[in-house]
Amino acid sequence: MEGFFKKKLPIKRKLPSNEQQTSSQEMQSSAQEQQIEVNLDELPLDPGKRIKMSAYHLNDRDKIRKVYLQRGPFQPTKHTFPQRKIGSSLRRFCPSWYIEFGNWLEYSIEKDAAFCFSCYLFRPDFGKKAGGDSFVTEGFTNWKKKERLSSHVGGPNSAHNLAWKKFQDFKKQNQHMEVLLSNQSEQVCDVYPSFLTTTIESIRFILEQGSALCDVESTDSADQGNFVELLKVLFQSKESRSLVVLENASENHQSITPTIAKDILNVAALETTNAIISDLGDELFGILVDEACDISNKWQMVVALRYVNKKGSIVERFLGIVNVKEITALSLKMQIEELFCKHGLSISRIRVQGYNGASNIQEQFSGLKNLIIEENPYAFYVHCFAHPLQCMLVAMAKNHIQVASLFNSVSTLLNVVRGPCKQHDVLRERQIVNVREALEKGEIPNEQGVDQETSLKQAMDTRWNSNYTTLINLLKMYSAITDVLEIVKEEGLNADQRAEANGLLLLFEEFDFAFTLHLMKNVLGVSNELSQALQRKYQNIIDVMDLVNITKQRLKDMRNNGWDSLLQEVISFCNMHTINIPHMEDVFCPKGKSRRGDKAQAITVERHYCVELFYAVVDIQLQELNDRFTVTNTQLLLSMACLSPIDNFSTFDKTMVMEFAKFYPREFSPIELMMLDAQVENYIIDVRSEVEFASLKGINDLSEKLVKTRKHIVYPLVYRLLKLAMILPVATATTERAFSAMRFVKNMLHNRIVDEWMNDYLVTCIEKDVFNNIDNELIIQRFHVMKSHNEQL
């Protein structure tokens, strides 16, 4: 089925006969006589990476030209063009030349060179006459001699102008030989435009319902999937004649197939992404990156953009999902560069980057972050508050094998005791008895309105407090859980379940399990308030940063002074539940190792639990907090808080605002900093005196109000700084939504959907508000240009 959606074009390196005379040496190369499979969707955009058109087989060139014609010349404008020394001066490519020289001029980021789009597509390969070859393969780099661009164009019969004429003729599909030789049916011509419109509306409807565009094995299948079946119903209800005409059309005109859904969806995704890039314009932006493994066990990386639109609103847009074949920092960066190149973006325009700190490839993301900062030192990293901090701390703690064993055992335990209804009911009854006994003994306060019944829930990575709550409830229900495990051990449904319960019972009787359980409960308890604060809808950044410092200090105090109290807490718990307590002065012997170890390496039981477990875990937590909240990003967040309009701009601090601007020397020159110093004084007096600014809830509201009242024109430097503050990703869920959609569309029933097909689906599904605003006619016209269809619209 994968081949049904992924068309690969066999490309022959062997040159046609009419070019053999000028390329005889190339023809002798055995490598050029081989056939190479090339995915049309993966043809390189950057002209410096392209293969010469003459290297492709003659019969394949028009298909490749159509793809490049649909994409247009590669003209990045947001790239930071490097300077090079030519003579005694520094020179660089000027993007204004795109306008001056038209649609033939291209620029290669890879080679820092200029190329000719029309000559690449249509200029015959007969050497370097008129300097044409330098604009096709080598690239023009002498920025000092701009007149060479004009000389490349030449006179009416120059190689460039002949290629340009072929370029223009090729764009007019009526003049294309494929169309001229086509014997079209008048009935198909009448029906086809209506069919395409109905097809697009069908895709819109399916995406709106959150359904998958299901594929089928063959056209003979009884159920041909959501798309085809819906299309048939629509045509039957509208005009049965249309359905008959299209079904009975010749092979060249066959249209009611699942393949057309893939083709039109691809066009719709391209138009949706183009609309997003157009909305971004020349604004600076942040990137949000996350990864996950799909149902086919392929690593997928999601990239989203965060920027301020023309209305002053902060928006996050899904840019694309990329299959990561090699999981290294350098490979991830190359994938992002390729995606940026495809959409005309540049890493130099990034001002903030955010990653999922709980990712399975967190180390690679850290390396990626550093690689981007090396290229662009103003692409600051800021921890995204929407990524649950507690889940990240747990993920980091799992680097310690005993902590990882604890959470694995807890996960297994929850599956056993929360399995069949009988076990769940027994657990509930045992807990009710234990609570009543504790109330009678005065161990639990009997207060009205206090819910004394505790439930044991599975820890979820998407809930900030799930791990902490699970550990607390596990400690509270220890006796009840032990009773349930005893029952399962004797009355389990099968031998595997009984053996699993027996293993857990043995684990519950170990001091090691009890100690690690209490340790993680206490450690996560220190960060509990911070985790809650990070998840609030309206965050007071200053309060959050205070909590960060408090959490760090409490962890330091725990490390320095918390060992004795933790040990006594564990010993008391073990005595209560009759768990054997080892002698702290004995020599520690790890499981699976002989007691006859090297005497020089022998340590006591107390040292093992204190140094190798307690200190190690607390140090991991401190290191993770320090990495996530560095001096730089803490200063950025505090500076951002000073721009908040809450409580009539109560947190405003001019000194902090000016310090914030100094983080961005590319956006604020020394002269502009002096102007900002004066402008910000006028700004704060103005907005504090305006009634309509008094009830704003955050900087997003402030930005929108400035645009609405046109004060962003009055205070341009303040507004520029505000936009930089807004793209800091303190709260985002775009990447999580992308993976949720990916798991839906690529499930067990459709686990062979190829990457391009899945990307197109996700773009149109996640950004359906953008897709819904794209006119059907625009999609039809692009579809018409991109594909080799015979039907004339």
Give SS3 for 306: strand
Q: Is the pLDDT of residue 167 over 70?
A: yes
Distance CA 416, CA 418 (A): 6
Q: What is the DSSP string of 466-498?
A: HHHHHHHHHHHTHHHHHHHHHHHHHH-SSHHHH
Question: What confidence tens digit (pLDDT) does each residue in 706-715 have?
Answer: 999 999 999 9
Q: What value does the mean pLDDT take over residues 287-305?
A: 78
Give SS3 for 697: coil
Full 3-state SS string of 608-664? HHHHHHHHHHHHHHHHHHHHHCCHHHHHHHHHHHCCCCHHHHCCCCHHHHHHHHCCC
Per the CB < 8 A criterion, the answer to whether 122 and 167 are in contact is yes
Distances (CA, A) of 703 to 367, 645, 716, 726: 34, 10, 12, 9
Q: Is the pLDDT of residue 77 over 90?
A: no
The pLDDT assigned to 610 comes to: 95
Per the CB < 8 A criterion, the answer to whether 636 and 728 are in contact is yes
Q: Which residues pair with 289 in a beta bridge?
A: 303, 355
Per the CB < 8 A criterion, the answer to whether 68 and 47 are in contact is no
Distance CA 287, CA 350 (A): 7
- Of 94 and 356, which is predicted with more confidence? 94
- Of 532 and 91, which is predicted with more confidence? 91
Give SS3 for 237: helix
The pLDDT assigned to 10 comes to: 43
Question: What confidence tens digit (pLDDT) does each residue in 361-377 have?
Answer: 566 777 888 899 999 99
Q: What value does the mean pLDDT take over residues 447-457?
A: 44
Give SS3 for 374: helix
- At 103, the pLDDT band (50, 70, 90 cuts) reads confident
9: Cβ contacts below 8 Å, ≥ 6 apart? 37, 38, 39, 40, 60, 63, 64
Q: What value does the mean pLDDT take over residues 116-126?
A: 86
Q: Which residues pair with 353 in a beta bridge?
A: 287, 381
What helix, strand, coil percent values describe the chain, rounded to 5? 60, 10, 30
Question: What confidence tens digit (pLDDT) does each residue in 533-591 have?
Answer: 666 655 566 677 778 888 899 999 999 999 999 999 999 999 999 999 999 999 988 77
- Of 475 and 535, which is predicted with more confidence? 475
With a pLDDT cut of 90, the percent of the chain lying above it is 24
Distances (CA, A) of 443 to 566, 593, 741: 20, 42, 48
Per the CB < 8 A criterion, the answer to whether 273 and 763 are in contact is yes
Distance CA 169, CA 162 (A): 11
Sheet holding 380-381, edge to edge: 314-323, 299-308, 285-293, 350-355, 380-381
Per the CB < 8 A criterion, the answer to whether 742 and 321 are in contact is yes
The pLDDT assigned to 117 comes to: 93
Q: Is the pLDDT of residue 72 over 90?
A: no
Q: Is the pLDDT of residue 456 over 60?
A: no
Distances (CA, A) of 93 to 44, 345, 353, 487: 21, 16, 28, 77
768: Cβ contacts below 8 Å, ≥ 6 apart? 207, 208
- Amino acid (1-letter code) at residue 49: K
Contacts 24+ apart (CB under 8 A), 417-425: 417/456, 417/481, 417/484, 417/485, 417/488, 418/456, 418/458, 419/497, 420/493, 423/484, 423/487, 423/488
The pLDDT assigned to 355 comes to: 79
Q: Rounded to 10 degrees, what is the CA torsion of 492, 493, 495, 501?
A: -30
Distance CA 763, CA 358 (A): 25
- Of 682 and 441, which is predicted with more confidence? 682
The pLDDT assigned to 35 comes to: 46
Mean pLDDT (the chain, rounded): 76
Distance CA 445, CA 321 (A): 53
Distances (CA, A) of 610 to 459, 509, 561: 27, 20, 12
Q: Is the pLDDT of residue 455 over 60?
A: no
With a pLDDT cut of 70, the percent of the chain lying above it is 68
Question: What confidence tens digit (pLDDT) does each residue in 716-759 have?
Answer: 999 999 999 988 876 555 555 555 555 555 554 454 555 677 78
Distance CA 7, CA 259 (A): 10
Q: Is the pLDDT of residue 33 over 60?
A: no
Q: Is the pLDDT of residue 699 over 80?
A: yes
User: Could you tell me the end-to-end alpha-carbon distance of the chain, in angstroms, rounded to an integer?
Assistant: 31
Tokens of 573: 């718990």
Distance CA 567, CA 564 (A): 5
Give SS3 for 6: coil
295: Cβ contacts below 8 Å, ≥ 6 apart? 743, 746, 747, 748, 751
Q: Count CB atoms within 10 A of the CB of residue 263.
A: 17
Phi, psi of 353 (to 5 degrees): -135, 140
